[in-house]
């Protein structure tokens, strides 16, 4: 079965940029997209991604709320919150067991890519 990564991000340009960047890095995963949590949460339930990259601030439901819903049904999924805000501050204020990491949107190559590669090379639970 092909490993899946889901990007939930309301800014189309940024979502496409992240997808294109990850595809160019040959991470070995099918990359799916959703423009908001209302689309992304049911999609995650259906496709059971290994990794979800999610914006913190989404229209309607925020990234933390969506992460908790996803994690409740897709337990072996790793959820990474992407934010333009101070990640250290958010780790303290928005602490959630559903979220594995908070990464700044400006840290795609130096932080996000190594983390994703590490997650995807670990064995998948079935």
pLDDT 10s digits, 70-113: 999 999 999 999 887 655 555 555 567 888 888 888 888 889 99
Mean pLDDT within 120-126: 62
Q: What per-residue confidence (pLDDT) applies to 53?
A: 97
The stretch 15-33 carries a mean pLDDT of 94
126: in domain: no
Work out how many domains the chain is built from and give that number.
1
- The pLDDT of residue 42 is above 60: yes
Paired with 79 in beta bridges are: 52
CATH number of the domain that residue 100 is part of = 3.40.50.2300
Is pLDDT of 44 > 90?
yes
Give CA–CA dist 116/93, Å, rounded.
24
Residue 30, CB half-sphere, CA atoms under 13 Å: how many? 9
5, 119 Cβ separation under 8 angstroms: no
Write out the two tokens for 68.
């908790």
Domain that holds residue 47: 4-121
């Amino acid at each position: 079965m092909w490993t899946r990564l889901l990007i939930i991000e309301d800014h189309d340009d940024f979502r496409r940029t992240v997808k294109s960047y990850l595809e160019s890095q040959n991470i070995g995963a099918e990359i799916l997209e959703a423009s908001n949590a209302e689309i992304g949460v049911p999609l995650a339930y259906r496709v059971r991604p290994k990794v979800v990259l999610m914006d913190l601030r989404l229209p309607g439901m925020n990234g933390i709320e969506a992460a908790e819903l996803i994690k409740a049904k897709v337990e072996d999924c790793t959820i990474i919150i992407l934010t333009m805000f101070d990640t250290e501050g958010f780790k303290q204020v928005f602490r959630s067991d559903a979220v594995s990491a908070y990464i700044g949107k400006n840290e795609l190559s130096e932080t996000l890519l190594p983390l994703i590669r590490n997650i995807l090379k670990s064995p998948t639970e079935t």
